[in-house]
Each structure stands twice: as C-alpha cells, then as structure tokens.
Structure 1
C-alpha cells in the first residue's frame, strides 16, 4: 500500500485567496483510505505552520498530490496564483530530499489549464476532472507514471453513490473556527445542460454518468457537519435545481432533519422553479436563492447562452417574494456585445424589481479554456493562464454608476468599481491578430485585457 500526502493549495496563504473547505481533496482521501492506503491531508487552515515548515515533505511519501481550485480570483484588480503555486511546489520538491515522490496535480483549476500547469509545475501526472478513480490507479503503481508528464481524464467513481463522506474532526474544527464558516456538499455529478459562453463547468465535470447521491447519504453528511459546529452549507452542484424532482427530494430531506440554525444555499436557475419547489425551500432553512442571469437584458442573456429569458427571471422573483425566500441575483457587466443600451436595461430592471442587498454585481468576464468565449477569441490555454478578460468599452464603469440606483452601489462596491476601472486601464490590451477568421472578433479594438507582467513583455500590445 502507498503513502500519500494530499496538499490543498487552495488554502495556501497568498494575496486575493480565500480558503474554502477542501471537498474535492477529501473525496480523494476518503477513496484512498477505504482502499487501505496511508494518507495525510496538508491544509494550511488546519495547520498554518505547514506552509513554512516543510518537515512533513521529507517523510517517505510515495505520492504527493496537489489540488488547485482557482487559478486567480477572477477579478480585474487581482493578479494570478500560478507563480505562488509554482514557488511552493518547488519548495516541496527541495524538501523531499533524496527520495523523490511521484508528483500529481488535480482539481477544477488544474483541469482547465492541465497541459500548461503540468509543464510549469513539473508534475509527473495530472488528473482532468473527477479524481478518485484515477488516483486509485496511480497510487496502486506510482512508478508506472514517473516522469511521464501526462494528464489523465477523470472517470466515474462508484463510491460517490455508496460511501458516506466523513471529514476529520480536526479539519472540521479548524474551518468551524474561521469567520462565518461554510462547507460545501456535493449532491450530484452530472454535466451542466446550460450553454453559458463563459462557463467551463461541463469540461471540468467530465463524463461522470450523471450520478445522484442518495438522500440518506446527504442527510448523514449534513448531520455530521452540523454536529461539528458548522451551520452554513453550500451545495456545490453547477445548478441545484437542474433536475427539479431530485432537488425537491433533497430540500425535503433537509427540512425533515430539523437541524435548528442550519442554513444552506446553492446556485439555482429560474427555470424550472415552480411554486411547490419554492414552498419546500421555504420550509427547509434555505438561506437565500442565488440565480445568475448575468444580465437583465434579454439580448445579452441570449448572447451569453442562457436557457431562459427575463420572463423566467420575473416569475422566479415573484415566487420568491410570495414564499418569503431571500434572493441574490448575479449580473456581470462586460460580456460580448455589451453596450450602453444593455447596461441601461439591466440597471432599470434591477432598480425596478430588486431590493437593496439582492443585486450582486461584477464587471468583466474572465476568459477560460474550453469555453465559447475562448473559442470566439481563438485564444489558447497558454494565452489564458494569466488573468485575461473579454474586452469591453472603457465607459462601462461610468454607465454602471450612472444608471444603477445608489442603493446598489454602497461605498464598498463603489471602491471595487474604481479599483476595477484603474486596473483595466493598466492591463495589457492584447491586439487582434492579423486576418481573424471569426467575424465576432473583427470589430473589436483589441482582443482581451490581460493582467500580467508576462503579457506585457511577450504579447507586445499597447498598455492602457
């Protein structure tokens, strides 16, 4: 049996990073433990000293796995995480001494940039998509993968529907002690049916057979989370109510548990969302309903690939109102074709329909591999590794401030908008290549905005 260290790089102390409980890594650790391997999870919330004191790395590990959740904070004013990851992985390699373990990368962020990160971080192997079954194969024969520099597609793991995921008490206690602690729970593994142009979720989730976790396992997992002292749960499904009958079953299960003070949330879609579902949600302790139309202008919603329109958003909001459900509506200004008219339309809808605190607003679409935006701009994985955003009109920030009610732009939001505007002016403008074949790109003054010193030296574009 193998000795395996699993390192949660998502908890690494670095600018712009907010550690999130390592659900994916715990799924892998749980699978390895059940198979009889010896594992240790290195998480810097649970053990802050472990990021500086690398004595753990010198233990005789056969495999060291690193999970990468985010490449950057997906914020105009923030830089990327990759250089921090690279420095830390190299430090770990130095600390392993003469016995070099097999190095494996994985996680959702890794899966998006797997080829580039495999090269840059020096891993022997990487996992693209769900990792349990592939990691079981790797640790069964590590030498088979040494030096191969190969990424392996994730596969379905039977244990997702049969095994209770129990988390170590010390790890739970560490996260329970953080400010406003929240833990993720996975209920289903099925590729998202939405066609949003910016979203790589379907690529990350891979071919996973559409498994739904039995509600008795969900109930047991929630009970253990509750007993640990954590009172907030977020269901990590791409869309919680994509299959509304199953979503109703999960919500009823939560209500039947009768756990005082437990609050939960998830990403919802306005369609399907009927009155029965809203009533069940109201009895289940749901914290708030998060919907992401990403624009409140019908033309923009269609351009962004939404499977619903403003009528469905209207009905969803009305149902939430009738059943006393708190609401959060995410919109992101700056998508393909965004102009003064679409910004005004979104703002006028928000001003008319949304209450103070219900609007969550961002500016700028981070372009990610394997998405329609990346294909439209003909940008490669290597092009996109540094924080790269779809180009938008420089007047966008002024339009947002002009058209939105001031109740949606408190001081903190205004400061974020100002920081984003300043950052966008400093970012490299990636020039449109000669003779673009995609008609959507022809009229763009530049291809993208990139926040990276590397971009300024390599691309040669104008710096705003």
Structure 2
C-alpha cells in the first residue's frame, strides 16, 4: 500500500481558467483505490485554502501526482498557465524540503501529455505520464523508488478497469461542483481514437491506443444514476465524437430514454455524418440539451483543408433533421484556419446568416497550434516552440470582415467584446516566419505567421 496525493492543477485560480469536474484524475484515483492504495484528491475548488496553506504537503506521502488539463485557455486574448504551474510547484517543493519529505513527484494529464518533454524538468517531476494514466500509475506505485529522479516520460496504456467497474465519485466533490451555475459533469462512454483527421486536433496523440473499448451500458447506467442522485442535472459525454460509431451511440441514447431520470439533460460533440433519421428520433426522446457539431468553417474549401470528412451538405442535412425533430443545435465556427481569406469568411457568414437560428452559432477566431498535429507539421514548428500560445496565420482584417458581414443577432454585446479583445491581443503577438521550403507547406495565401506570444522563462 502506497500513500498518494493527487493534485488537480486544473483547479488552481488562474486568469482565464474555468475549473471543471476532474474526471481524468478521478479515474486515476479510483484505479489506485481499487488496488488498495491510500489516496487523497487535492482540489482547490473543494478546498480553496489548500492553495495557500499547503498543509497537505506535510503528510507522509510516498508519491504526489499532479494533473495538467490545459496549458492555456486556447483563446487569443488569454495567456499561458505554465508560469502559474511553475510558481505553485516551486512552493510545493520548498514546503516539502522544509518538512524533510521527498515523495515521488509525477506529472500527467492531457495538457501535460502534449508538452511532456518541455514540462518534465521545468516543473520538477521525477517521472511523467503521457496519455491515459491509470495503468501507468499502478505500475509506478508498484515500485516507486525505481522512478525517483528518472527524468523520463512513460506512455500510458489500456486500463481494463474501464470495462469492468463503474466510476463513482465522492459525495463532497460532487456537491461542491454542483453549486456552479449550470453545473455539468463529464462521463466517458468509450476510449477509442477519433477516426477524423482534423489538422488542429491532438486527441489521437493524447488518448493513445486504448483498444477501442466501449463501456458496457450497465456501467454507464450506474454512473448516470449516481450523478443524478448527487443533484447534478447536466451530463456531457466526453467522447471525441459521440456518434462516430452510430450503432453504439444509438444504444447509449436508448439507455438515457429508458432510465428517464427526472430533470437530467445531456449533450456531446457530434459529427454531421453518420446522423440518420432514426438517430434524430432517438435523440428527440432522450432529453438531449443540444447537439454540438463542429464544422469549424462553413466554406467547403476550408473545411477540406481542416481535414473534415464532411462538407456543408452534411451540415445542412444534420440541421434539417435536428429541426424536424425539435432538437436544439450548436454550431462551432473558428475563423482563421488554413486557406481562410475574404471569400471564405464571406461564405461561412452567408451560411450562418441564412441558415442558422438565434443561439445556434458558437464563434471563435484563431487556431491554437498544438504538438503532434497536422497544423504543426504544416508550419514546420518544432513541438518545443509551441509551448507559448501560438496561433495559425490569418489575415489581420479577419476581425473586420466578421463584424462587417455577421448579422447583429449573432453579435450580442458579450460576443462583440470578446471579438474586440481577441483583435487587440492579436496585434500584440510576435510574428515568426513561415518555413521557406517545406514538404507540407501551410495551405494559406498569406506570407506571415501571426502569432506566437513570448512565454516568460523560468
């Protein structure tokens, strides 16, 4: 038996940070508890005083694990979280030294996985975990002294407990997160790499090879009942694409309808195909809060360059089915991707103005370039140089084109304020050159790369 503290760095108070329930860390904790280890989850939403007093550091831990969900909020107008993590870890190490304690320090989480090589030494971890953490943490804790000062990252692998045991969360943690306005909790139904090849998306790298596990319906039902009993009434299925395997998605939706938990609503990320009439009918009877689709552009040429496996015809059909069955929809658009120009912006906005209803548009500007993505390869930027918030090149007039063309009904004061803040931030960003020669040149007409802010060094 090993004593382990698991620290949710995603709950640190930081500008631009909006803490969400720590599903990933709870998966690791549950796996360790099931193996007989003694654990404590340190969450700064549940215990705000733990940020400053660090009293938990004095306990006789054999290991302390730290999870990083985000490196930055991926919004142009927000800064990196890395310096906040550095300062906090520095305080933790100083407190440990003061108490004469030297537990094994382990880093992990999706944000950490993307920049593991850069963050391992910078944050002072003995060992890091890339990808899913349950099985690797079990391996590490079987012989923690072997990993002390290892200075390496280990790739995660499949955890069999995902298929055999329902994930039940502590009542106190559920209660504190249920007090947020519009409280929502995530739930995994599958661990399978997304089949789509979107050039900006690192999920395949983060998730690793999990053997394509689909959680048994009886375990999903048990988790949903527990969530409902806690008082939380909104669930978000955290699958990369909920309906990527339509047969299984229909089974999960049928389960939601069968359970009929009073007041419980749910949502997820969907793709416009496969999305047939039977699926839409099932969704309509399941209390789905909204269907979230992410074409990211509504210009077919830009969609193709983004790596989408569908085009605006499929978006049309999906929205038509949603409306016919009374299903609310949200359509995510991110301006400023590969090949974006005045014409493509106009095409996307013409689609929005003519075909979307009030409240359906979710709009952003700028693609955060992340390691291990097609976008990073196109630009020829080494992974290590992407730790500072770095955005794909886009025309400086993009903001003006949006404001000029978009109907006012899609531009409430909050959206306009966010757009202006993003434009102001983009003007302050450093410019770095595009590669002069590349086997995979960036598919854009513009000769400059906007946008790598400088990250303060440790």
TM-score norm. by structure 1 comes to 0.96
| Deviation of 1:360 (Å) | 0.3
C-alpha distance in 1, partners of 2:233/2:441?
Answer: 50
Asked if the contact 2:388–2:453 (Cα under 8 Å) also holds between the matched residues in 1, the reply is yes
* Equivalences for residues 131-142 of structure 1 within 5 A: 131-142=133-144
C-alpha distance in 1, partners of 2:120/2:46?
Answer: 27
Q: Which residue of 2 aligns with 1:355?
A: 357
Asked if the contact 1:76–1:451 (Cα under 8 Å) also holds between the matched residues in 2, the reply is no
Q: Which residue of 1 aligns with 2:65?
A: 65
Deviations 1:146-192 (A, max 9, x none): 00111001000000000111100100011011221110000000000
C-alpha distance in 1, partners of 2:245/2:454?
Answer: 40
Q: Which residue of 2 aligns with 1:223?
A: 225
Deviations 1:234-276 (A, max 9, x none): 0000000000000000011011111111010000000000011
Deviations 1:300-335 (A, max 9, x none): 110100001111100000000000000000010000
Alignment of 1:25 onto 2:25? yes
Q: Which residue of 2 aligns with 1:184?
A: 186
C-alpha distance in 1, partners of 2:191/2:441?
Answer: 36
C-alpha distance in 1, partners of 2:412/2:182?
Answer: 22
C-alpha distance in 1, partners of 2:440/2:233?
Answer: 49
* Equivalences for residues 308-457 of structure 1 within 5 A: 308-433=310-435, 438-440=440-442, 444-452=446-454, 454=456
Q: Judging changes above 3 Å, is the alpha-carbon distance between structure 1 residues 434 and 454 closer, same or farther for their aligned structure 2 residues?
A: farther
Asked if the contact 2:72–2:389 (Cα under 8 Å) also holds between the matched residues in 1, the reply is yes
C-alpha distance in 2, partners of 1:119/1:441?
Answer: 35
C-alpha distance in 1, partners of 2:46/2:86?
Answer: 22
Deviations 1:81-140 (A, max 9, x none): 001011111111111231211010111111111110112111111111111000001111
Asked if the contact 1:55–1:95 (Cα under 8 Å) also holds between the matched residues in 2, the reply is no
C-alpha distance in 1, partners of 2:137/2:455?
Answer: 35
TM-score norm. by structure 2 comes to 0.97
Alignment of 1:56 onto 2:52? no
| Deviation of 1:431 (Å) | 2.5
Return 5+ residue gaps in structure 2 as ranges.
Answer: none
1:200 aligned to which of 182, 199, 202: 202
> May I ask how many residue pairs the two structures share in their alignment?
455
Q: Which residue of 1 aligns with 2:175?
A: 173
Q: Residue 359 of structure 2 aligns to a residue in which SS?
A: coil
Asked if the contact 2:194–2:203 (Cα under 8 Å) also holds between the matched residues in 1, the reply is yes
Q: Residue 52 of structure 1 aligns to a residue in which SS?
A: helix
Asked if the contact 1:278–1:319 (Cα under 8 Å) also holds between the matched residues in 2, the reply is yes
C-alpha distance in 2, partners of 1:453/1:114?
Answer: 17
Q: Which residue of 2 aligns with 1:268?
A: 270
Asked if the contact 2:339–2:443 (Cα under 8 Å) also holds between the matched residues in 1, the reply is no
Asked if the contact 1:244–1:272 (Cα under 8 Å) also holds between the matched residues in 2, the reply is yes
| Deviation of 1:204 (Å) | 0.6
Asked if the contact 2:61–2:103 (Cα under 8 Å) also holds between the matched residues in 1, the reply is yes
Q: Which residue of 1 aligns with 2:81?
A: 81
**RMSD of the TM alignment (CA)?**
1.3
Asked if the contact 1:377–1:441 (Cα under 8 Å) also holds between the matched residues in 2, the reply is no
Asked if the contact 2:80–2:455 (Cα under 8 Å) also holds between the matched residues in 1, the reply is no
| Deviation of 1:435 (Å) | 5.0
C-alpha distance in 2, partners of 1:375/1:273?
Answer: 31
Return 5+ residue gaps in structure 1 as ranges.
Answer: 456-464
Structure 1 stretch 426-435 or stretch 118-127: which is displaced more? 426-435
Q: Judging changes above 3 Å, is the alpha-carbon distance between structure 1 residues 91 and 152 closer, same or farther for their aligned structure 2 residues?
A: same
Asked if the contact 2:378–2:442 (Cα under 8 Å) also holds between the matched residues in 1, the reply is yes
1:297 aligned to which of 283, 296, 299: 299
2:235 aligned to which of 230, 233, 236: 233
